[in-house]
Amino acid sequence: MPSKRTYAFAAILFMLSSLAWGSEKAGFFVKPHLDWSSLGNDELLIEGASGKARYDSGFATGLAFGYDYGNGFRSELDFEYRTNEYSSVDLADGSRLTGGDFSSAILYLNGYYYFHRANRAWSPFIGLGLGWIQEIDFDAGGSATEVSFSQSGDWAYQWMAGVEYQLSSAWQLQARINHINISGLKLKEEGGAGRIQGADYRVWGVGAGLVYRF
């Protein structure tokens, strides 16, 4: 006999499917996007010295290629580059680092659900993403004395929410917010033995994308 959880899951699927009426036809799409990026302040260890990093706002740019299944669900591969400069990194010994940035290049597999309504141009959506970190890079110091620390090959996660406006049968304009949270990074100095430990990558993004359907 089916369990209560099975009935609850079936009810959720039924509600989602009822919201999908009026959705677009199935097909491929491409989506360039540009985001404003806010990176949370962080406590970290730079070569064994504790420090507090304060970041300025930054930007992200990306390009996604995906498929719309025609029932409210979409999936995409999205390569995104994101960067934030830091206003300062204050170390426990009283010294201060300036003139660097914290950047990432991540390939995401994203899944979305669109709440389509018949004869309405606006469609809100929610989404989740699993990312493979091509590189996260922390540049410390000015151009003359810059030292880079990086990590690659790990996993990232994000969630997204937003709304899409249908401009035509082929073009849609999208606005979204997203949040990325990667904790406990261990960055190695490029060409050296230095380390940054305990760094967190907590990002809020607000941006826009232009969807073209094939």
pLDDT in tens, 153-206: 889 999 999 999 999 989 999 999 999 989 888 899 888 888 888 888 999 999
Q: Please tell me the distance from the alpha carbon of residue 90 to that of residue 54, in angstroms, as a whole number.
A: 9
> For the stretch 20-57, what's the b/e string if a residue is b when 16 or more beta carbons lie within 10 angstroms of its beta carbon?
beebbeeeebebebebebebeebebbbbeeebebebee
Q: What is the pLDDT of residue 8?
A: 53
pLDDT digit string, tens, across residues 81-106: 999 988 778 777 777 777 788 999 99
Query: Higher pLDDT residue, 38 or 98?
Result: 38
- Expressed as residue numbers, the domain containing 69 is 4-213
More confidently predicted of 4 and 212: 212
How far apart CA 104 and CA 98 sit, in angstroms, is 19
Dihedral Cα 116, 32, 138, 99, nearest 10 deg: -110
pLDDT at 112: 97
Q: What is the total residue count of the chain?
A: 214
pLDDT at 4: 53
In the chain, the number of structural domains is: 1
* pLDDT one-digit tens code per residue, 56-76: 899 999 999 999 999 999 999
CATH number at residue 98: 2.40.160.20
* pLDDT value at 117 more than 90: no
Distance CA 111, CA 60 (A): 19
pLDDT value of position 145: 62
